[in-house]
A = this chain, B = another copy of it.
């Protein structure tokens, strides 16, 4: 019997629910200005930011706590940092056979894109002094996007089980182009983009207000999905399948 976690209806409902998490997090970040200083290493001249920016510091500290709480024992969760402590909670009796363990991690790309492409479009330029609040929102956004993108491992495993023979053939040949074609569904991609646009528009509006101003530009969310989240998801799927038989 197929693992419930790999059923396409389950995967789809998880992915759809993650859209809210990402959009809410982006709306929260958008209330603060760009605050460029929080992305610069050493900008505060303190112990905190001597090796990474303020956002990097907070991300690292957050992952340290989450690692102790066993976040990264879940095979589908990937950390941005590698120097994390061991879990301090006893292991979960989790079924680890859902996906194949692997070393895929596109978080460096996610962080780069988020900081260089998304935030400068999402936020008003300038500095409002809200460095802590902005950094907290950034960490939430980064983790939400990372979880969404690396969920692709489950998507890929599910697609593999549906097309085992064809997949095995392509994987053995190292034919990443055919794998990419196999996992690509333009209709589903268009539906995702259409849906996140609707959501960003709806959640950006303030139903208690007389004005039409939105808390977020819906186009930024659709751009993030079409230019980065969907392509990175497919990249993870291909990477996962290419090492699937090892």
Residues of A within 8 A of B (CB): 16-17, 19-21, 24, 27-28, 31, 44-48, 54, 57-58, 61-62, 65-66, 68-71, 88-90, 92, 94, 129, 131-132, 135-136, 140, 194-196, 198-199, 201-203, 205-209, 215
From DSSP, what is the main secondary structure of chain A's interface residues?
helix
Chain B residues, CB < 8 A from A27: 20, 24
Chain B residues, CB < 8 A from A195: 207-208
Assembled-state Cα–Cα distance A205/B203 (Å): 9
Chain B residues, CB < 8 A from A71: 132
26 CB contacts below 8 A, A to B, read A16-B206, A16-B208, A20-B28, A24-B27, A24-B28, A44-B90, A46-B89, A48-B68, A48-B69, A54-B69, A54-B89, A62-B65, A66-B132, A69-B131, A69-B135, A92-B129, A94-B129, A194-B208, A198-B207, A199-B206, A199-B207, A201-B207, A202-B203, A202-B205, A202-B207, A203-B203
**Looking across the interface, which residue of chain B has its beta carbon closest to that of A62?**
B65
Give the 5 A-B residue pairs with the shortest CB-CB distance, closest first.
A195-B208, A24-B24, A202-B207, A198-B207, A61-B65
Assembled-state Cα–Cα distance A61/B64 (Å): 10
Chain B residues, CB < 8 A from A94: 129
A32: min CB distance to chain B, Å: 11
Assembled-state Cα–Cα distance A76/B131 (Å): 16
